[in-house]
Chain A
Amino acid sequence: EAQVTQNPRYLITVTGKKLTVTCSQNMNHEYMSWYRQDPGLGLRQIYYSMNVEVTDKGDVPEGYKVSRKEKRNFPLILESPSPNQTSLYFCASSSHLYEQYFGPGTRLTVT
């Protein structure tokens, strides 16, 4: 089954404790992206990757890191999380100008 998976689905952590949210897709898509979704603000892109070892900043990259060492994986790293990073995070993947497939989302709370 074609899918995008994210882990964990829910995470409560404390300020400053490094965390990683994993994202994996099995569709051999070149493009992968991370979004955060906050009430009233829609989907805001954090980082995206056009292919292995190619990443670029989106609209709100501050406080986040990513890597793309393999085509199927695109982890999101928060080195020192802060409360303003409390949000719902979505990973997505696609081929060029086609449907973006979203993961199930990760709800992160930073206290």
Chain B
Amino acid sequence: GENVEQHPSTLSVQEGDSAVIKCTYSDSASNYFPWYKQELGKRPQLIIDIRSNVGEKKDQRIAVTLNKTAKHFSLHITETQPEDSAVYFCAASRWDSNYQLIWGAGTKLIIKP
């Protein structure tokens, strides 16, 4: 079955710098890759997603890139701000997986002032 590995588990960056979180997946048939953000004490919320027919997607300061050959995808956050501090989860799914998302273990992002 699908397995998703996420690195690093903790990432500390200076405010204004960029942050990159990487995930690798095992099932080459996976075709949907969302990223969720969970602020302290709150529920996870979708921040960006990408499907396998595109290699990159951007939304203001966040972007996701997908390398299907290498089976990895990454979340890029530019010009980090204090409100970016949170736990970020990646996930992967395939079209015939009965809605199943396979989750990474999460990355705690700390923005240092």
Contacts and interface: CB of A to CB of B under 8 A. Distances in A.
Interface of A: 30-31, 33, 40-45, 48, 50, 56, 90, 94, 96-97, 99-100, 102-105
Interface of B: 32, 34, 36, 43-46, 49, 89, 93, 95, 98-101, 103-106
Nearest to A95: B99
Given A97-B32, A97-B93, A102 B100 contact: no
B93 A43 contact: no
A31 B100 CA distance: 9
Q: Among B43, B45, B103, B106, which residue has the most Cβ atoms of chain A within 10 A?
A: B43
A63 B72 CA distance: 34
B105 A42 contact: yes
A96 B44 contact: no
A68 to B, nearest CB: 13
A33 B98 CA distance: 12
A42 B103 contact: yes
A96 B99 contact: yes
A33 B91 CA distance: 15
Given A40-B105, A50-B98, A99-B49, 6 more contacts: A41-B105, A42-B89, A43-B44, A43-B103, A100-B36, A100-B101
